[in-house]
Amino acid sequence: MAADIRVGHGFDVHAVGPGDHVMLGGVRLDAPFGVIAHSDGDVLLHALCDALLGAAGLGDIGQHFPDSDPGLKGVSSLVLLARVRGLVEAAGYTVGNVDLTLLAEAPRLGARREAIAGSVAAGLGIGRDRVNVKATTLEKLGALGRREGLAAEAVALLVRR
Ligand code: MG
């Protein structure tokens, strides 16, 4: 019998707003703007949470953490990721690997990419070699290309324990 493996995909976007930093993968990056969000607006972690929930067949991040919940205002998305990890593990799965892509003109990840991958790996309790972080610009096309927002996609593979 084939191994019980499941794939999930996630997408998230947040509009750019006033501020001086953005959170990406649980890491703070200085920026001449912020993002508008109920939580800390970490698009990488929100996309990742949705990929994990999707793979486990557990719906989406909005069902588990509604933005109408005052208890989640300004919450670190690492807290959301920890809760999602708990749900996934309770469902009998362990994370095989995750692949994250930031879609934004800015900020450029540069030297922070390694810190982000390490943060995601720590948040998931998996090895650094199971996390890949990518980034692409939008070639200045569309709303994201005009720096009106940040978006991210994520793919996660779960393996039944
Ligand atoms: Mg979000």
Task: Look at phi and psi of residue 70 and say left if phi exceeds 0, alpha if psi is from -120 to 50, else beta.
Answer: alpha
143 CA → ligand 1 middle, Å: 17
What is the four-CA torsion angle of 129, 57, 161, 26, rounded to 10 degrees? 30
151 CA → ligand 1 middle, Å: 9
89 CA → ligand 1 middle, Å: 22
Residue 3 to residue 18: CA distance in whole angstroms: 47
Residue 17 to residue 49: CA distance in whole angstroms: 23
pLDDT at residue number 12 = 98
41 CA → ligand 1 middle, Å: 6
pTM for the complete prediction?
Answer: 0.96
Average pLDDT by consecutive 10-residue portion of the chain (161 residues)? 87 97 98 95 98 98 91 92 98 98 96 97 98 97 97 98 90
pLDDT at residue number 143 = 97
Which residues fall inside 5 Å of ion ligand 1, going by CB? 12, 46
Residue whose pair of structure tokens reads 């809760």 in the numeric block: 83
pLDDT at residue number 2 = 61
Arch. (CATH architecture) of 5-160: 2-Layer Sandwich (3.30)
DSSP 8-state code for residue 129: G
pLDDT at residue number 157 = 98
